[in-house]
Structure 1
Amino acid sequence: MISSNEYFDGTVKSLGYISATGKSTIGVMEPGEYEFNTSAKETMNVVEGELIALLPGETEWKSYKTGAFFKVGANTSFKVKSVGQTAYLCQYD
């Protein structure tokens, strides 16, 4: 079953699904700054565009462009700045 998710007054939208490797969401973010909370380990893949992320335990923002990814642990939070519209694939462990 495909689920539809909308966050931050519709500026982040995603579709959730179950693949052969587990739960995933694929979505798009409008330009802006967002903070997400995690309940499971996540791998955030930038499909197209650029995310600038401030990851847990880090003090500096880092850029992730098309083809790059970052990992975030469970039960934490992270911040991202979307540069233009950015498409992403989030895979949960």
Structure 2
Amino acid sequence: MIIENTYFNGNVKSLGYETAEGKSTLGIINPGEYEFGTADKEIMHIVEGKLSALLPDQTDWQHFEPGNSFEVPANSRFKVKTEVPTAYLCQYR
């Protein structure tokens, strides 16, 4: 089954699905700054565009482009910001 997710007044949208390895979402982030919370560990892969992330327990924003990824621990919060529409794959493990 495919699940549709919409956040931040439609500025972040994703389609969720599940495989034998676990849940994943494919999505688009419109320009802006957003804060997310995690229940599970997340592995975020940038597919197109670029974004910056302020990860838990960090004070500096890190920059990510297509082919880059980052991990966020379970039960934490992180921020992302982008100036261009950015596509991502998020794996929940």
User: TM-score under structure 2 normalisation?
Assistant: 0.97
Residue 10 (structure 1) aligned with residue 16 (structure 2):
no
4+ runs deviating over 3 angstroms: none
Aligned to 1:74: 74
Deviation per residue, 1:1-59 (Å, 9 max, x gap): 00000000000000000123210000001000000000000000001011100000100
| Secondary structure of residue in 1 paired with 2:27 | strand
Tell me the C-alpha RMSD between the 2 structures: 0.7
In the comparison of the two structures, how many residue pairs are matched?
A: 93
Structure with the higher strand share, 1 or 2: 1
Q: Which runs of 5+ in 2 are unaligned?
A: none
| Secondary structure of residue in 1 paired with 2:9 | helix
Structure 2 distance, partners of 1:5, 1:41, is 18
Q: Which runs of 5+ in 1 are unaligned?
A: none
Structure 2 distance, partners of 1:68, 1:83, is 17
Alignment of 1:15-54 (within 5 A): 15-54=15-54
Aligned to 2:87: 87
Structure 1 distance, partners of 2:56, 2:29, is 20
User: TM-score under structure 1 normalisation?
Assistant: 0.97
Residue identity over aligned pairs, in percent, reads 58
